[in-house]
């Protein structure tokens, strides 16, 4: 990494300030050639982490009045010499200074190249590098909190501790490899206990990664029920705007509508208004219901909506029982239209199901429904979620499989312990790949390609 890179680090558009970032061995000298400090000083001799006021001048023309921050290797974000130029936030100024710096010898940075250099120079591990992008893209306070936790190295610490346990077990095992027939029962039981413990912790990390998906992508809540029970009106009431078309004609919603709700707790909730389920009247009805069922499978919480002013049909009871058969789905029974005389017989539903009474039209009970959604989210322990990408999750699944294979070897002793030694070595390697200790540059390139330019 002997070349010098430069990029605009702030979004293009008119703003109070803009930032241009450089990194590389010669960046201080490059900036020095076009920066005229108000006080006569040599940027290459100033202390690291200092700020300097002056003008960018090129071919005897003042381009802008700026502040220049100097960060010297290895005590910088990338581990290299870095410079940040704070300009007025005009896209014309930013583009002009960028062009000048390229003419002076820097090249335009690739996506995520600054963070990639920080990773390659050992300033952060791969998980921490990912967290920086997750901080930038966080859509809720909860997502931001989890991303910051990952940046601090909390996830990395858990993985390193697990890797260390595997390493210690392998070293202990290698001492016994020459005489597997002499392995005592208590030693075998100790190894089994350790592998079972690692397996449980890996399984728990995978569960937390799933909860992390809910945090990052939003907790998915779906409105389900037969046509014309008021699902679209309830959707609009939760969104606090008229997003879905509402008519007295049954089956108005043929496709699903998605909206986002930010709860006071900081959680992002994605709410789906869907086509009513039942017996389709035509091909459009059938297609809409098929989409509803697909969203149902991906949902976290189901709001089963019934019309409190009408009677419950046999078809509706069958639909409710079908939904209850879904695995790992939370359900709230929402009785709508409580502003009208009530005819609904709730005894047909099980007593243990949570019930919320609302009038979407009059706004009655909407706050109670939001609180109920929040309670269900809290019960999922989302605060404990972690962010892992698909590659890292697949590696954890590999490690889980290695644990099972190792346990099988120990259960079936006596047999060659070499097999178990190889399994433990592969486990160590997989942990190293998650942390970026042994990751290929191809994988790293794919991860950093999701970053924005300038980060």
| C-alpha to C-alpha distance for 182 and 176, rounded to whole angstroms | 8
348 is in an annotated binding site: no
Sort strands 301-307 and 257-262 into parallel, antiparallel or unpaired.
unpaired
Taking the C-alpha atoms of residue 319 and residue 16, their distance in angstroms, rounded to an integer, is 56
Is 50 annotated to bind a ligand? Reply is no
232 is in an annotated binding site: yes
> Is 164 a known ligand-binding residue?
no
Q: Determine whether the annotation assigns residue 259 to a binding site.
A: no
Strand bridging mode 219-224 / 268-273: parallel
Sign of CA pseudo-dihedral 412, 414, 417, 419: negative
On whether 275 is known to bind a ligand per the annotation, the reply is: yes
Is 395 among the annotated ligand-binding positions?
no
Tokens of 158: 């858990």
Query: What are the residues whose beta carbons fall under 8 Å from the beta carbon of 69, sequence distance 6 or more?
Result: 49, 50, 51, 52, 83, 84, 85, 86
**249 labeled part of a ligand binding site:** yes
| Cβ neighbours of residue 387 closer than 8 Å, sequence gap 6 or more | 130, 131, 134, 146, 147, 150, 155, 209, 212, 215, 216
455 is in an annotated binding site: yes
- Please check if 218 is assigned to a binding site: no
Q: Please check if 142 is assigned to a binding site.
A: no
* Residue 274 assigned ligand-binding role: yes
**229 labelled ligand-binding:** yes
The residues, any chain, with a CB within 8 Å of residue 77's CB and separated by 6 or more, are 23, 71, 114, 118, 123
123 is in an annotated binding site: yes
**292 labeled binding residue:** no
Interatomic CA distance for residues 170 and 168, integer angstroms: 5
Is 248 labelled a binding residue? yes
Q: CA 203 → CA 191, 208, 267, 430, distances in Å?
A: 18, 9, 25, 15
Residues pairing with 262 in the sheet: 268
Which has the closest alpha carbon to 388: 127, 54, 170? 127
- 153-173 as b/e, with b when 16 or more CB fall inside 10 Å? bebbebbbebbebbeebbeeb
299 among annotated binding-site residues: no
User: Which two three-digit tokens encode residue 190?
Assistant: 């100790």
Q: Is 276 annotated as a binding residue?
A: yes
Burial of 113 (0-12, 13-18, 19+ CB in 10 A): buried
Q: Is 78 annotated as a binding residue?
A: no
Binding-site annotation: residue ranges for Mg(2+): 232, 253
Binding-site annotation: residue ranges: 21, 84, 123, 228-233, 247-253, 273-276, 455
Binding-site annotation: residue ranges for (6S)-5-formyl-5,6,7,8-tetrahydrofolate: 21, 84, 123, 455
Binding-site annotation: residue ranges for GTP: 228-233, 247-253, 273-276
Binding-site annotation: residue ranges for K(+): 228, 247, 249, 252
């Amino acid at each position: 990494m002997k070349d010098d890179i430069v990029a605009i680090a702030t979004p293009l558009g008119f703003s109070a300030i803009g930032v241009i970032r450089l990194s590389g061995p010669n960046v201080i000298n490059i900036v020095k050639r076009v920066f005229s400090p108000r006080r006569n000083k040599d940027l290459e001799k100033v202390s690291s982490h200092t700020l300097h006021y002056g003008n960018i001048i090129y071919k005897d023309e003042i381009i802008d009045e700026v502040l220049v921050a100097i960060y010297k290797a290895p005590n910088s974000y990338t581990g290299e010499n870095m410079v940040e130029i704070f300009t007025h936030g005009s896209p014309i100024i930013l583009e002009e200074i960028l062009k000048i710096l390229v003419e002076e010898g820097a090249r335009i940075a690739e996506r995520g190249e600054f963070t990639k250099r920080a990773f390659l120079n050992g300033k952060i591990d791969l998980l921490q590098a990912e967290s920086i992008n997750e901080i930038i893209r966080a859509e809720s306070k909860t997502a931001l909190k989890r991303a910051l936790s990952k940046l601090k190295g909390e996830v990395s610490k858990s993985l390193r501790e697990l890797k260390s346990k595997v390493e210690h077990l392998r070293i202990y095992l290698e001492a016994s490899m020459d005489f597997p027939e002499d392995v005592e029962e208590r030693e075998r039981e100790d190894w089994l206990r350790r592998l079972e413990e690692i397996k449980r912790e890996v399984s728990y990390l995978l569960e937390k990664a799933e909860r992390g998906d809910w945090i990052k992508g939003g907790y998915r809540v779906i409105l389900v029920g037969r046509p014309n029970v008021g699902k679209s009106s309830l959707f609009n009431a939760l969104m606090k705007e008229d997003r879905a078309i509402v008519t007295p004609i049954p089956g108005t919603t043929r496709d699903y509508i998605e909206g986002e709700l930010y709860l006071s707790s900081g959680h992002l909730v994605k709410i789906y208004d869907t086509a009513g389920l039942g017996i389709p009247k035509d091909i459009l009805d059938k297609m809409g219901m098929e989409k509803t069922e697909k969203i149902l499978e991906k949902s976290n919480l189901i709001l089963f909506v019934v019309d409190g002013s009408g009677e419950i049909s046999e078809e509706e009871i069958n639909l409710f029982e079908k939904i209850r058969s879904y695995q790992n789905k939370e359900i709230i029974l929402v009785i709508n239209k409580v502003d009208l005389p009530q005819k609904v017989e709730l005894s047909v539903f099980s007593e243990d199901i949570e019930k919320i009474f609302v009038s979407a039209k009059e706004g009655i009970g909407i706050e109670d429904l939001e609180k109920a959604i929040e309670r269900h989210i809290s019960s999922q322990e989302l605060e404990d979620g972690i962010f892992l990408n698909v590659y890292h999750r697949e590696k954890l699944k590999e490690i889980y499989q290695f644990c099972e294979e190792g346990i099988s070897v120990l259960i079936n002793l006596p047999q060659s312990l070499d097999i178990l030694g190889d399994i433990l070595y592969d486990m160590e390697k997989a942990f190293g790949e998650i942390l970026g200790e042994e990751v290929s540059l191809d994988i790293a390139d794919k991860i950093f390609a999701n970053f924005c330019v300038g980060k």
